[in-house]
Structure 1
Amino acid sequence: MRENEPTRDDLVGGAWRGAVAGVAGGLVFGACMASYGSLPTVASIVRVSSPYAGFAVHLVIAAVIGTGFGILAGRVRGGELLFWGVMYGGFWWFLGPQTLLPLLTGEPVTWDLAAAQRLLPSLYGHLAYGAVTALAFALLGRGRPDIGLRPVLRGLVAGPAAALVLLPASNLLVAGIVAGIGYPLLFSGRREGTGPALIRGTVYGFVVWVAAGLTAPPLLRGDDLDWSAAATRTAVGSLPGYLLLGAGTALVFSWLGLLSRLLFVDDVRRLHDEGAGAHGLHATGFGILAGLLGGSVFALVWWRSGGLVQVAGLVGGHGPVLGLIVHLVIAQLIGVSYALLFRRRAFDLASGIGWGVSYGFLWWVLGALTLLPALLGLPLRWNAAAISTAFPSLVGHLAYGAVLGAIHQYLENRVNPWWVTRGEAETARVVARREQALGSAPALWMVTVLIAVAVPVFTAGG
């Protein structure tokens, strides 16, 4: 048997823990389904219409799906499981109510925008199921997490600090306090570079938005749970703020952790590389080239959608040619920031594209929806209509990020970013790749894509 390969006992243990955790997630999801009356639909699988029968069938399905989660994610670390659970729940939303349920009940399968909007309550329920299942699975395997006082204090500073930066655009102070408390409870054991922390925080911001921005308000008013398309369209205006709040919380938390290690760690060997170190010159060159190539691909989208004319307004000019020049300069600057933040984080083409696409999505929120209109003296694009209109820009940012990440990974790999011998470099790469796989990085990339794909579902309609 290969080293670190899961044993039969590992798989069996993961399976039963997953089943129990799945029931826990199913209870939460089932309560949500009961509130919006979808349990009879589940009961139709066994040709009855009783909501009680639907709840029983739902729990059986939840346990079975939880078993699969336990087998697949049995060796993932504690808080890292949250994003795997969210991703797993999103996957089952596509596979379950959109595909298998209509097949089992004799209904046609309709993979279109209208069907997706009708199933939005089910999407949020599946995401809640995945999150609760993952957290229950972590607790069953490792018990109560050991959280020190220092990470909690860092979180209490990080969340409100990020919220205060966003206050001119959005009242997120209470959400910042909640996000700041929750972050160290989930991720205090992580020591990572600033770039990955930003992506983690962005996805964390989405989770907080579902919980605090969409779910909590009607419940606090004493109303019923409302996960409808209309409620989503109303709440989606706060989504950019929550995404930036999560990214800011993770950024400040990460920087405070680095400062703490600099002040209190005596053994300099324990101060791990945060990404932008003495080899920044190489990284800058890679970022310029990768950003230029990615920006050229993005320019095709901007040209077709008329965005280059708007970009030219950043320097007080007009016309697509000037806009193209400004756009390529910005693309190179963002490329340099990516190269500095994600140095030695991409171990193959897949991880390069994963980090790049995620970074491109973050810059769509920070750039196209926030900084671009602010610099042009226009209202922020923090409402459903404006976010929907900006969707072509989202496609461009994702394409830019994919090219940026792929080219940067290729260039960095050619010059051996580990700065050691070839054999040592390969050993370090294998270990780091495995650490990344046992963390949440692949889940972060996939959840980012899920959010991007869901943007038209969140914003369509009137």
Structure 2
Amino acid sequence: MKGLSDGAIAGVAGGLVFGGSMALYGTLPTVASIVRTGSAAVGFTMHMLFAVIIGAAFGVIVAARREVVVWGLLYGAFWWFLGPLTLLPLFRGHPVTWDLPSAQGLVPSLIGHLCYGLTIAVTIKILRADIPDSRPPTAVLVRGGIAGGIAGLLSLLPDGFLIGAAAGVLYPVVFRERENTGPALVRGSVYGVLWWVFFSLTAEPLLMDLKLDWAQPPVDQLPGYILLGALTAVCYTWLGSLSRVLFVDDVRMFPVESPGSRGVRALGYGVVAGLAGGAVFTAVMVVVGVLPTVALMVGSQNPVVGLVVHLIISQIIGISYAVLFRRQSYDLISGMGWGMSYGFFWWVLGNLTLLPVLTGRPVDWSPAALAAGFPSLAGHLAYGAALGVVYHVLEARTNPWWQTRNAAEQTRVDTRRRHTLGSAPALWTLTVLIAVVIPALIPR
């Protein structure tokens, strides 16, 4: 009941935010057309009714979850698919068309739904914050600001340092759970998309021009914000680990297993999993004809050389996955989720950023470059799925030598519970949704 009431209150707040954006774009009569009227007042009334009901349902869904922001974003994106793309045409007597032009025409509605999802999530966080020490310590905020500033300098964004510092200060406010580097990187990538939506698309235009243009979003800035968020999360996690090493004396805060014994076998698994993902990705690269471009990294244009370079890179990424995501998957679905999220990150860092640099070309994040790189995005997602699944299968075959079988199973159950109560499933799903929606963000 507490979740239901909190969700209903949050739905009111989210409905007002979303309603404002709908009124700005003149879509309230579209909602009213469900009951065969074009009145904006009727449309707003129906919109607020839907907002409260949907918000109440969200409050029940996240009643036992600790991190709700990512779940809110996913919930907003889900209702964009279910609402404007599916149910609204049916209610208006129109056929459902899940095609690219329909999605492109509803990009403002997508951003409005994300605003709604974020608003209800933040409102629920505020309603839950009834303990005196709910605010992060000052040292944590300073650490976040330093991490964000470093990430901003590396993100290739204009004014990246200032934007990164602001994003870094807010990062520990939004995400309170401590994560290992791999999950933090995925969470940071989603955090970067959040900053792109709510700063680049919304706050900055309102502050500069006092108007919004969600119909033509600056998609060329999206890769930079993804890198900004991912690097902020990674730097924040590493700075926290460094502070614990230097300033914490409690031995219970440190892992029992030594780095040498816990890493060698995992690296071998990463090599095998990386080769498996690379084999899957090769089919896409052959169809697209990008192997000669990959060969340019070593001064050749031979497709066979490109294939060898591609498989070597696949193994290196597989090794990095083993380092960052060791013991983070508890079943095949979680392994696939982490792997696909990691593959998406490498599409931004590798295909869109490092590959042009290593082949002597300037970095190009233009809409045309993103459209041309979409086949590679599909290949990276397939690579990540195979990487995560194969790595989990290999890792699950061997229990740590110091644990009994029952203890290993308990560790797996604890990991599943921590991820489920946190935001891991929402992170995987939202990352895939972001990848699917990218073509709709590219101007026609």
In the TM superposition, residue 166 of structure 1 has moved relative to its aligned partner by: 2.7
Residues 220-261 of structure 1 deviation map (CA, whole Å, 9 limit, x = unaligned): 223422110xx22xx110110000000010011001111111
- Equivalences for 1:381-460 in 2 at 5 Å? 381-417=364-400, 419-460=402-443
Instruction: Say whether residues 1:310 and 2:293 are aligned partners.
Output: yes
Structure 2 counterpart of 1:353: 336
**1:28 CA drift (Å):** 0.5
Shift of 1:57: 0.8
Task: Look up the match of 1:98.
Answer: 85
Distance (Å, rounded) in 2 between the aligned partners of 1:140 and 1:275:
42
Where does 1:55-454 land on structure 2 (aligned, <5 Å)? 55-77=44-66, 80-143=67-130, 145-167=134-156, 170-187=158-175, 189-228=176-215, 231-232=216-217, 235-272=218-255, 278-417=261-400, 419-454=402-437
Instruction: Give the distance between the partners of 1:450 and 1:101, measured in 2 at CA.
Output: 20
Which residue of the partner structure matches residue 4 of structure 1? none
Cα separation, 2, equivalents of 1:418 and 1:69: 43
Secondary structure of 1:191's counterpart equals coil
Instruction: Tell me: CA distance 1:93–1:308, structure 2 relative to 1, closer, same or farther (3 Å).
Output: same
1:27 aligns with 2:40: no
Q: Deviations over 1:419-439 (max 9, x none)?
A: 410011111211111011001
Query: Secondary structure of the equivalent of 1:107?
Result: coil
CA–CA distance in structure 2, aligned partners of residues 381 and 357 of structure 1 = 23
Q: Which amino acid letter does the alignment assign opposite residue 42 of structure 1?
A: V
The aligned residue for residue 5 of structure 1 is none
Identify unmatched segments of 5+ residues in structure 1: 1-11
% identical aligned pairs: 55
Q: Closer, same or farther in 2 for the Cα pair 1:288/1:68, shift >3 Å?
A: same
- Range 169-178 or range 439-448, more displaced: 169-178
Aligned residue for 1:279, secondary structure, equals helix
Provide TM-score, normalisation by structure 1: 0.93
Q: Match of 1:130, as an amino acid?
A: G
Please say if residues 41 and 54 of structure 1, whose CA atoms lie closer than 8 Å, have aligned partners that are also in contact.
yes
Deviation at 1:50, TM superposition (A): 1.6
- Partners of 1:447 and 1:267 in 2: CA distance: 37
Q: 1:27-57 deviations in whole A, cap 9, x for unaligned?
A: 1111111111111111112222221221111
Distance 1:120 1:179 in 2: 24
CA distance in 2, matches of 1:200, 1:157: 18
In the superposition, relative to structure 1, how do residues 274 and 32 fare at CA in structure 2: closer, same or farther (>3 Å)?
A: farther
The answer to whether 1:18 aligns with 2:1 is: no
Farther-moved stretch of structure 1 (100-109 vs 63-72):
100-109
Letter of the aligned partner of 1:201 in structure 2?
A: G
- Aligned-partner Cα distance in 2 for 1:94–1:277: 47
Letter in structure 2 aligned against 1:455? I
**Cα-to-partner distance string for 1:374-395 (whole Å, 9 max, x where unaligned):** 1111121311000110001001
Distance 1:243 1:69, change over 3 A: same
**CA separation of 1:155/1:222 partners in 2, compared to 1, >3 Å: closer, same or farther?**
same
2:177 aligns to what SS in structure 1? coil
Deviation at 1:209, TM superposition (A): 0.4
Matched residue type, 2:203: A
Partner of 1:3: none
Q: Distance in 1 between matches of 2:322 and 2:69?
A: 27
The farther-off stretch of 236-245 and 103-112 is 103-112
Partner residue of 2:42?
53
1:106-164 deviation digits (Å, cap 9, x = unpaired): 22221111110111010000011001101111221234732111110101101111111
The alpha carbon displacement at 1:272 in A equals 4.8
Q: Distance in 2 between matches of 1:403 and 1:419?
A: 29
Over 3 Å counting, the alpha-carbon distance change for 1:134 and 1:239 in structure 2 is: same
State the AA in 1 paired with 2:188: G
Q: Specify the code of the residue in structure 2 equivalent to 1:179.
A: A
**Aligned mates of 2:402, 2:256 — CA distance in 1:** 12
Counterpart-to-counterpart distance in 1, 2:228 and 2:259: 23
Query: Could you tell me whether the CA contact under 8 Å between 1:275 and 1:344 is conserved in 2?
Result: no
Q: Residue in 2 aligned with 1:7?
A: none
1-structure distance, mates of 2:116, 2:438:
21
Tell me: CA distance 1:91–1:274, structure 2 relative to 1, closer, same or farther (3 Å). Answer: farther
> Shift of residue 275 of structure 1?
11
Distance 1:142 1:164 in 2: 33
Query: In 1, distance between residues paired with 2:35 and 2:401?
Result: 57
Kept in 1, the 8 Å contact 2:201–2:212? The answer is: no
Partners of 2:162 and 2:8 lie apart in 1 by 35
Q: For the residues of structure 1 that align with 2:328 and 2:283, how far apart are their CA atoms?
A: 28
The question of whether the paired residues in 1 share the 8 Å contact of 2:155 and 2:225 is answered with: no
